[in-house]
Amino acid sequence: MSGGHTSAGHPPAEEEFDPDDPRMTRFDLVREGARRDGVEIVHYEPRFTTPGTPEERRIVRVIAMCFVITGLSALAFIVAYVAWPWEYDAGSNINKLYTPILGTTLGLALLFIGIAIITWAKKLLPEEVSVETRHDGASDNTERKLTAATALSMVDELGIRRRPLLKGAVALGLAPVGIAAIMPLGGLIKDHKSELLYTAWKKGVRLMHDDGTLVRPADVSAGGQITVFPAIPEGNSNKYADSPTLLIHLREQDAVRTRDNALRINKGAQWKNFVAYSKICTHAGCPASLYEQQTNRLLCPCHQSQFDITNNARPIFGPATRRLPQLPITVDSDGYFVATSDFKVPIGPGFWERS
Partner 1 sequence: MTPARSDRPGGLRRKLGTAARLVAALVLAGGVYTAFAPSSQAEDTPKQDLSYAAQQGQHLYNTSCITCHGRNGEGVKDRGPSLIGVGSAAVEFQVTTGRMPMARQEAQAERKDPVFSNSEARQLGAYIQALGGGPQIPDGNLRGGDISAGGELYRVNCASCHGFSEHGGALSSGKHAPSLDEATDREVYAAMLTGPQNMPVFGDNELTPQEKMDIIAYVQNMKHDQAPGGWSIGAIGPTTEGLAIFLIGITSLLFATLWIAGKS
Residue 225 binds to partner 1 (criterion: CB under 8 A): yes
Residue 92 binds to partner 1 (criterion: CB under 8 A): yes
Residues belonging to the chain: 355
Closest CA to 242 of 254, 226, 258, 230: 230
Closest CA to 271 of 227, 337, 226: 337
Select 97 or 197, whichever has its Cβ closest to partner 1: 97
Select 121 or 341, whichever has its Cβ closest to partner 1: 121
Q: Taking the complex as a whole, how short is the minimal distance between the CB of residue 89 and partner 1, in angstroms?
A: 10
Sign for the pseudo-dihedral over CA of 277, 283, 285, 287: negative
Select 8 or 65, whichever has its Cβ closest to partner 1: 65
| Binding-residue total with partner 1 (CB under 8 A) | 41
Residue 297 binds to partner 1 (criterion: CB under 8 A): yes
* Cβ pair 157, 151 in contact under 8 A: no
Q: Taking the complex as a whole, how short is the minimal distance between the CB of residue 304 and partner 1, in angstroms?
A: 7
Report d(CA 347, CA 277) in Å as an integer.
Answer: 10
Please select the residue that binds partner 1; options are 57, 122, 193, 267, rule is CB under 8 A. Answer: 122
Please select the residue that binds partner 1; options are 18, 132, 143, 210, rule is CB under 8 A. Answer: 210
Tell which positions 45-74 bind partner 1, by CB under 8 A.
none
β-sheet bridge partners, residue 314: 308
Residue 99 binds to partner 1 (criterion: CB under 8 A): yes
Residue 306 binds to partner 1 (criterion: CB under 8 A): yes
Report d(CA 339, CA 69) in Å as an integer.
Answer: 66
Please select the residue that binds partner 1; options are 261, 290, 321, 354, rule is CB under 8 A. Answer: 290
Tell which positions 227-266 bind partner 1, by CB under 8 A.
227
Stretch that binds partner 1, among 99-107, 196-204, 266-274, 332-340 (CB under 8 A): 99-107
Q: From its phi and psi, is residue 53 left (phi > 0), alpha (psi between -120 and 50) or beta? A: beta
Select 308 or 342, whichever has its Cβ closest to partner 1: 308
* Cβ pair 323, 312 in contact under 8 A: yes
Binding mask 161-200 for partner 1 (x = CB under 8 A): ----------------------------------------
Q: Taking the complex as a whole, how short is the minimal distance between the CB of residue 325 and partner 1, in angstroms?
A: 19
Please select the residue that binds partner 1; options are 9, 100, 178, 187, rule is CB under 8 A. Answer: 100
Q: What is the CA radius of gyration of the chain?
A: 38
Residue 127 binds to partner 1 (criterion: CB under 8 A): yes
Please select the residue that binds partner 1; options are 6, 153, 261, 304, rule is CB under 8 A. Answer: 304
Q: Taking the complex as a whole, how short is the minimal distance between the CB of residue 97 and partner 1, in angstroms?
A: 7
Listed in sequence order, the DSSP H helices in 267-318 are none
Report d(CA 189, CA 204) in Å as an integer.
Answer: 33
Please select the residue that binds partner 1; options are 43, 96, 257, 314, rule is CB under 8 A. Answer: 96
* Cβ pair 95, 102 in contact under 8 A: no
- b/e 26-35 (16+ beta carbons within 10 angstroms → b): eebeebeeee
Sign for the pseudo-dihedral over CA of 276, 255, 332, 218: positive
Strands (E), the chain: 5-6, 39-45, 127-132, 207-208, 225-230, 245-249, 274-278, 290-292, 297-299, 306-308, 314-317, 329-331, 337-339
Q: Taking the complex as a whole, how short is the minimal distance between the CB of residue 281 and partner 1, in angstroms?
A: 11
State the residues that interact with partner 1 by CB under 8 A. Answer: 90-93, 96-100, 103, 118, 121-123, 127, 210, 216, 218-227, 287, 289-295, 297, 299, 301, 304, 306, 317
